[in-house]
Structure 1
Amino acid sequence: MKREDYQFYVSGAIKLGISFGVVSLLARWVTGNTILASPETLIKYGLTGGIGYSLMGALALILFGLLAKKIRERYPDQHTIGDVLRLKLTPSGYWYMITVLLITSLDSLFVQAMGAGILIHMISPLPIFIGMLLFLSFCFFVGGVGGMQRIHQLAGINVSLIFGAVIIIPVYFFIQEGVFPVYEGIKLYHPYLLYIKNTEAIWFIFTAILIGFGQVLIDRATWQRVFIIKKEKVRMTFTLAGLIWATIPLALSSLLMIIIFGRSYENIYSLIFELIEKIQSTVLIVLFVLFCFSAISSAISAEIHATTSLFVRNVLEVFRKLTDREKWKYTYIFSGAICVFLFVIVTILTPNPLELLFFFGNIYASMIVPMFYIILSKRKLPSLIPFASLIGAIGGYLVLPFTENLLAIWLSFAISSFICLCFTFYKWFN
C-alpha cells in the first residue's frame, strides 16, 4: 500500500498480531479520564469503587472482544464503524448514528484535553496557553497528519512509559514507607476508604460496567483496531488488553493512598499530581510526567485520527466521491479544526471528569442493545432500532431532576432495550 493512498492513513500498512494489538488498545484506553477519575472514584466510593473502576474497562474490552470476531466475519471489507452503519441502516438511522458518534467523540476529546490542561497547570512552568498549544500541536501531527502508522510507531513507547510509571513508582514508595504504615495511616485519617460493605459502591460498579461497555461499543478508534487486528487473534487480543488495563487504575489507586495515608487533603483533582512533592528522585519525577503526557496524548491522537477518518469516509464521501488528494486535504482541515476547538473550549470549561462520564452515560447505555442489533442482524434495519437509543437517552435525561444519575442511566438502557424487544416480537408474529 502506497503512503499516498488514503487507506494507509486509516488502517496503516500491516495487520496486527496479539502483542502489538494489545499495545495499540492500551495506548487508546489508558486515558486522561483514567488518571483524573481514579482519585475521585477512590475518594467517593473507597477501595470498592477503585476496584469497580478497574472492572469497568476490563469487562468492557473483554465483552467487546466476544463481538469483535463476529464483526470481522460479517464485515470483512469494512474499515470503520461508519462503514458498517452505512451498510445496515436506512439514511435517517445512519445520519442519527453518525451524529451521536461525532458528539461522543468530541466529549471524549474534551475530557482528554481537559486532563492535559490540568496537568500543564499543576506541573509545568509554561503558561497553560503555550503548554496547550504545544501539546495539541503534537497530537495534531501524530493523529491528524501521521495517521495510523504514526500512532503505531509511538504506541510501544507510550505503553512502556505507562507501565514503567505504574510499576516502578509504587514499588519505590512502598519500599521506602512500608506497607503497614500506609495501611495504618489510611485507617487513621481515611477509614471510609477501607469500608467494603458500601451498597452505593456496588451500585456504582454495575453502572460503570454498563457505561464502559456502551462506550467501547461505539468507540471509533476501537472499531478501527478490530479491522486491523488479525481475524483469528482479535478475541484473545481484546481479552488480554482488558485484563492488563485493569491493573492500571489499581496502581493509580495505590499511588493515591501513598499520597494521603498520613494527612488530609483539600482538592481531589490535584491529589495525583501532589505525588511529585513526595518523589525525591528526578528520574521518577520525569517518568511520572512522561507517563501522564504519553497516556493523554496517545488517547487524543487516536481519537482525532478515528474521528477524522469517520468524517471524511462516512460523511463527506456520502455526498460525493473524493480523490485521495481531496481526502488528505479535508483530513488536515478537519483534524486542525478539532485541535483549535479543543484549545478554545478547554480554556472556557472545566467540568468534573466523572460527572461528565456519567452525564453521557445515558447515551452510552441506551446504545448497547441497538448496537447488538446492528452487529448481529443479517439484513438492513429500520430507523426504529437506532432511534430507540434516542428515546432511551431522552427518557433518562427527563427523570434526572427527580432521581439520581445512576438510576437514570439504567432507565435509559431499559427503555432502549424494551423498544428493540418490542420490534423483535412484532417481527416474529408478523
Structure 2
Amino acid sequence: MNRKDYQFYISGAVKLGVSFGVVSLLARWITGNTILSAPETLVKYGITGAIGYSLMGALALVLFGFLAKKIRNNFHNEQTIGDVMRQKLTPSGYWYIMFILLVTSFYSLFIQAMGAGILIHIIFPIPVFIGMILFMGFCFFVGGVSGMQRIHQFSGVNVALIFGAVLLIPVYFYIQAGVHPVYDGIKLYHPYILYFKNMDAIWFIFTALLIFFGQIMMDRATWQRVFIIQKEKVTMTFSLAGGIWATIPLALSSLLMIIMFGRSYKNIYSLLFELVDKIQSTMLIILFVLFCFSAISSAINAELHATTTLFVKNVLELFRPLTNHERWKYSYIFSGIVCVCLLVIVSILTPNPLKLLFFFGNIYASIIIPMLYIILSSKPIPVVIPYSSLIGAAGGFLLIPFTNDLKAIWISFAISGVICLFVYILKKAPIKS
C-alpha cells in the first residue's frame, strides 16, 4: 500500500493476526481510566467490586468479539463505525449517531488526558501545564500525524511495559512485606475492603458490564480494529484480549492493598503517590512511570486517530469530496485542535473519573439495544431506533434526582430497549387489509 495514500493512515499496511490483534486491543483498553478507577473501585466497593470490575470488563470484550464476527460477515469494505452507520441509517439517524460518537470520543480523550495530568502532578516536580505540553505533543505526533502504522509500532512496546510493571512490582512488594502482614493490616485498618457480602458491589458489577459493553460498542478505535484483524480470527482475538485485560485491574488492586495495609490515607489519589514513594528501586520507579504513561498514551493515540479518521472520512467528506492531500491536511488540523483543547481543559478541570464514567453510563447503556438492532437487522432501520437512545438517556438523567446513578443507568437501558422492542413487534405484526 502507498504510504501517501490516506487508506494507509486509516488502517496501516497489513491485516492483524491473533497475537498482534490482542496487543492492539490491549493497547487501546488498558487506559488511564483503568489506572484511576481501580483505586476508587477498591475503596468504594471492596475486593468484590475490584474483582467484578475486572471480570465485567473482560466479559464485555468477549461478548463484543462474537458481535464483531457478525459485523465482518455483513460489512466487507467498511473501515470505520461511521461507514457502517452511513450504510444502515437514514440521514437524520446517521447525523445523530455521529454526534454521539464525537461527544463520547471527546469524553474518552478527556479522561485519558486528565489521568496524564494527575500522574504528572503526582510524579514529576514540574508544572502540570509544561508536562502536558510535552505529553500531548507526543500524542499528536503518534496518534494525529503518523497514523495506524505508527500506533501499531508503539503498541508492542506499550503492552510490554504495562505487563512488566504489573508483574514485577507486586512480586517485589510481596517478597518484601509478605502476604499475611498485608492481609492482617487490611483487616485491621480497612476491614470493609474484605467484606464480600456487599450488595452495592454486586449491583455495581452488573452495571459496570452494561457500561463497558456500551462503551465498546461505541468505541471508534475498537471498530477500526474489527476491520483490520483477520476475519476468521476476530472472535478469538477479542476473547483472548478480554481474558488478559482482566489481570490489569486485579494487579493494580493488589498494589493498592500493599500501600494501604497498616495505615490510613488522605485521599484516593494519594495512594498512587505513596506507591511511587514506597518503591525504593530506581528501576521499578522508572518502570512504574513508563507503565502509567504507556497505558495513557496508547489509549489517547488510538482514540485520537480514530476520532480524526471519523471526522474527516465520515463528516467532512459528506459535505464535499476531498482529495488525498486534503484528507491528510484536515487530519493534522483536526487532531492538533483536539490536542490543544485537551491541554487547556485538563489544566483547568480535575473531575472524578468514576463519577464521569457513571455520568456517561446513561448514554452507553441506552445505546446498546439500538446498536444491536442496527447491526443485526437486515432490513431498513426506522428513524426511531437511533433516537430511542436519546429518549432512554434523557429518561435516565431526569430520574437521577429520584434514584441513584446505578438505577438510572438501568432505566436508560430499559427505556431504549422497550422502544426498540415495540418497533420490532410493529414491523413483525401482519398488516390487515
Q: TM-score, normalised by structure 1?
A: 0.99
- Structure 1 residue 220, shift from structure 2 partner: 0.2
* Secondary structure in structure 1 of the residue aligned to 2:374: helix
Matched residue, 1:325: 325
- Structure 1 residue 8, shift from structure 2 partner: 0.3
1: CA distance, partners of 2:276 / 2:320 = 53
Matched residue, 1:169: 169
2: CA distance, partners of 1:55 / 1:337 = 36
Matched residue, 1:72: 72
2: CA distance, partners of 1:276 / 1:111 = 22
- Structure 1 residue 129, shift from structure 2 partner: 1.1
Matched residue, 1:368: 368
- Structure 1 residue 369, shift from structure 2 partner: 0.4
2: CA distance, partners of 1:204 / 1:41 = 9
Instruction: Extract unaligned runs of 5+ from structure 1.
Output: none
Q: Residue by residue, what CA displacement relative to the aligned partner does 1:2-21 show, whole Å, maximum 9, x if unpaired?
A: 01100000000000000000
Q: Residue by residue, what CA displacement relative to the aligned partner does 1:208-237 show, whole Å, maximum 9, x if unpaired?
A: 000000000110000000000000000000
Matched residue, 1:404: 404
Q: Percent identity of the aligned residues?
A: 74
* Secondary structure in structure 1 of the residue aligned to 2:401: coil
Give the AA of the match of 1:160.
A
**Which residues of 2 match residues 209-220 of structure 1 at below 5 A?**
209-220=209-220
Matched residue, 1:128: 128
Matched residue, 1:36: 36
2: CA distance, partners of 1:400 / 1:351 = 19
Matched residue, 2:295: 295
Give the AA of the match of 1:24.
S
Q: TM-score, normalised by structure 2?
A: 0.99
Matched residue, 2:13: 13
Q: Residue by residue, what CA displacement relative to the aligned partner does 1:89-138 show, whole Å, maximum 9, x if unpaired?
A: 00000000000000000000000000000000011122111100000000
Matched residue, 1:348: 348
- Structure 1 residue 47, shift from structure 2 partner: 0.1
Matched residue, 1:111: 111
2: CA distance, partners of 1:273 / 1:38 = 15
Matched residue, 1:387: 387
Give the AA of the match of 1:389.
S
Matched residue, 2:89: 89
Give the AA of the match of 2:309.
S
- Misfit runs of 4+, over 2 Å: none
Q: Does the 8 Å contact 1:255/1:272 carry over to 2? A: no
2: CA distance, partners of 1:222 / 1:130 = 31
- Structure 1 residue 274, shift from structure 2 partner: 1.5
1: CA distance, partners of 2:382 / 2:397 = 25
Matched residue, 1:138: 138
1: CA distance, partners of 2:272 / 2:80 = 36
- Structure 1 residue 383, shift from structure 2 partner: 1.1
- Structure 1 residue 380, shift from structure 2 partner: 2.6
1: CA distance, partners of 2:152 / 2:317 = 26
Count of residue pairs the alignment pairs up: 430
2: CA distance, partners of 1:261 / 1:421 = 50
- Structure 1 residue 262, shift from structure 2 partner: 1.2
* Secondary structure in structure 2 of the residue aligned to 1:266: coil
Give the AA of the match of 2:118.
I
Q: Does the 8 Å contact 1:166/1:248 carry over to 2? A: yes
Report the RMSD for the aligned CA atoms in angstroms.
0.6
* Secondary structure in structure 2 of the residue aligned to 1:164: helix
Instruction: Extract unaligned runs of 5+ from structure 2.
Output: none
Q: Does the 8 Å contact 1:87/1:380 carry over to 2? A: no
1: CA distance, partners of 2:301 / 2:353 = 19
Give the AA of the match of 1:159.
V
- Structure 1 residue 353, shift from structure 2 partner: 0.1
- Structure 1 residue 379, shift from structure 2 partner: 2.7
- Structure 1 residue 411, shift from structure 2 partner: 0.2
Q: Residue by residue, what CA displacement relative to the aligned partner does 1:4-42 show, whole Å, maximum 9, x if unpaired?
A: 100000000000000000000000000000000000000
Give the AA of the match of 1:325.
H
Q: Does the 8 Å contact 1:145/1:332 carry over to 2? A: yes
2: CA distance, partners of 1:203 / 1:125 = 40
Q: Does the 8 Å contact 1:58/1:243 carry over to 2? A: yes
